[in-house]
C-alpha cells in the first residue's frame, strides 16, 4: 500500500504596491514609503523607499538586507506566493530578520520573507505589511501625508519602545506580551447603562418626535381608570410644579369677579372648568 503524499498549498498574498512594481511602471506618490537604515552583513545600508502597505500582504525584503535566514517553517510560518502581473510568484520558502531603527534610533527586528530576485531593476527592496504597522505602532497617517507632499521620511512610530518579532510569543517580566500591556481597563457598568438608556431615548425621539414612555415599576400597581384620565398618561415625561409656581399661574388667569361662589372656577372656550385644570393654566 503506497502512502499518498500530502502537498501543502502556499498562502496566496496580495499587495498593491508590490503588484505595481512587477508591472515596471513608475509608482505615484499615493504609496506610503519610509527611509530605513538597515544593519546587514554588508554593513549599514540606507533604504530610501521602503514600502508600507496597509493591505493584506506579508513582509518582504531583499536577501542581502536580512540576517539569520532560515526556512519559514523554522519560524513557525508557511511558505507564501505573491500575486504579480504575470500570475503567482514562486514560493517564498525562507525568512530572515530585518534589523533597523526608527527616527529616534530605537531598534526594530522585523521578520520578513526573502525576496530572492530583484523586482524590475530594484535590487534593494522592502515591503512592510499591515500587521507590522500595527505591531510596531507605525504612524501610517504621517507617512501617507509625507509621501504625498514631501517624499520619503525616517520611520515614525507612536511609541518609544524597541520591537522584536518574537515579542508577541514571549512574556516579559512585567507580565505584558511584547511591547503592549495586557493590563485590563476596569469596566464601568454604570456608564454603559446610562449610555444605553440615553441612546434608546434619543433614537425613539429622532424617529417618532415623542419621548419614550417610562417603564412602570414592577411592584407598583397603576389604576387603569386613573391612568387613562390623567394627562400624565401621555408619552411625554411628567413635570411637577411647586406651590409658588402654581399660584403664580393662577394669579395670571382671569376669573369672573361677579361669581364669588366660584372663585376657583373659570371658563375656557365656552367650557366651565377649575382654575387648577391643566387646560386653564396659562404660561
Task: Express each pLDDT in 226-272 by its tens digit.
Answer: 554 444 444 445 555 566 666 666 665 555 555 555 567 778 888 88
In the chain, what percentage of residues exceed pLDDT 70? 60
User: Does the pLDDT value for residue 223 go beyond 70?
Assistant: no
Mean pLDDT of 53-62: 88
Domain ranges of the chain: 11-167, 241-283
pLDDT band with cut points at 50, 70 and 90 for residue 62: very high
- At 162, give phi and psi (nearest 5°): -65, 155
Task: Express each pLDDT in 85-143 by its tens digit.
Answer: 888 999 999 999 999 999 999 999 999 999 998 887 788 999 999 999 999 999 999 99
pLDDT band with cut points at 50, 70 and 90 for residue 206: low
- Which residues, in sequence order, are CB contacts of 55 under 8 Å at separation 6+? 14, 15, 16, 129, 130
d(CA 6, CA 253): 94
User: Does the pLDDT value for residue 201 go beyond 90?
Assistant: no
User: Does the pLDDT value for residue 215 go beyond 90?
Assistant: no
Mean pLDDT of 169-177: 37
Task: Express each pLDDT in 127-164 by its tens digit.
Answer: 999 999 999 999 999 999 999 898 899 999 999 999 99
User: Does the pLDDT value for residue 179 go beyond 80?
Assistant: no
d(CA 242, CA 23): 80
**What is the pTM (predicted TM-score) of this model?**
0.58
Please give the residue that has the higher pLDDT: either 226 or 76: 76
Quickly name the fold that domain 11-167 has. Cathepsin D, subunit A; domain 1 (2.40.70)
Q: Please tell me the predicted confidence (pLDDT) of residue 173.
A: 33
226 CA to centre of own chain: 51
Average pLDDT, rounded, for the chain: 76
Please give the residue that has the higher pLDDT: either 188 or 43: 43
**Residue 249: how many other CB atoms lie within 10 Å:** 15
Q: Please tell me the predicted confidence (pLDDT) of residue 252.
A: 58
Q: Please tell me the predicted confidence (pLDDT) of residue 247.
A: 65
Amino acid at each position: 500500500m503506497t502512502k499518498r503524499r500530502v502537498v501543502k498549498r502556499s498562502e496566496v498574498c496580495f499587495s498593491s504596491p508590490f503588484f505595481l512594481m512587477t508591472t515596471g511602471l513608475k509608482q505615484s506618490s499615493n504609496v506610503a514609503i519610509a527611509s530605513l537604515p538597515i544593519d546587514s552583513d554588508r554593513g549599514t545600508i540606507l533604504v530610501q523607499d521602503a514600502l508600507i502597505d496597509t493591505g493584506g500582504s506579508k513582509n518582504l525584503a531583499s536577501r542581502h538586507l536580512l540576517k539569520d535566514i532560515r526556512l519559514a517553517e523554522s519560524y513557525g510560518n508557511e511558505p507564501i506566493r505573491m500575486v504579480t502581473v504575470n500570475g503567482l510568484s514562486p514560493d517564498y520558502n525562507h525568512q530572515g530578520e530585518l534589523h533597523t531603527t526608527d527616527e529616534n534610533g530605537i531598534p526594530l527586528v522585523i521578520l520578513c520573507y526573502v525576496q530572492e530576485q530583484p523586482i524590475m531593476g530594484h535590487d534593494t527592496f522592502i515591503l512592510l505589511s499591515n500587521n507590522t504597522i500595527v505591531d510596531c505602532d507605525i504612524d501610517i497617517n504621517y507617512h501617507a501625508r509625507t509621501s504625498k507632499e514631501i517624499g520619503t521620511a525616517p520611520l515614525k512610530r507612536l511609541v518609544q519602545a524597541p520591537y522584536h518579532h518574537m515579542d508577541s510569543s514571549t512574556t516579559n517580566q512585567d507580565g505584558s506580551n511584547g511591547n503592549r500591556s495586557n493590563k485590563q481597563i476596569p469596566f464601568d457598568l454604570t456608564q454603559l447603562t446610562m449610555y444605553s438608556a440615553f441612546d434608546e431615548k434619543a433614537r425613539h425621539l429622532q424617529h417618532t418626535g415623542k419621548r419614550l414612555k417610562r417603564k412602570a415599576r414592577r411592584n407598583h400597581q397603576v389604576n387603569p381608570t386613573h391612568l387613562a384620565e390623567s394627562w400624565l398618561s401621555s408619552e411625554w415625561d411628567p413635570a411637577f410644579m411647586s406651590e409658588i409656581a402654581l399660584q403664580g399661574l393662577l394669579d395670571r388667569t382671569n376669573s369672573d369677579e361677579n361669581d364669588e361662589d366660584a372663585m376657583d372656577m373659570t371658563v375656557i372656550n365656552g367650557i366651565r372648568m377649575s382654575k387648577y385644570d391643566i387646560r386653564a393654566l396659562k404660561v
